[in-house]
Amino acid sequence: MLRFDVGKYSPTNERHIWILDTLGTTNEDLESIENSQEQP
């Protein structure tokens, strides 16, 4: 998962969605990552 933390992901890019689905990454996982980056 750290690879996704250093890159971009586009919710409109079907390949990105396919990769996340294949890995079992949920919207909640992405929100958790986003929230953890906002906190110092």
pTM, 2 dp: 0.51
Place of tokens 């919207």: 27
Going from N- to C-terminal start, the domains of the chain cover: 2-35
pLDDT of residue 6: 47
pLDDT of residue 10: 82
Residues 1-40: pLDDT tens digits? 555 554 677 888 899 888 888 888 888 887 887 788 766 6
pLDDT of residue 11: 80
Distance CA 21, CA 37 (A): 22
pLDDT of residue 36: 82
pLDDT of residue 9: 77
Closest CA to 30 of 39, 12, 9, 18: 9
The encoded tokens of residue 12 equal 């409109």
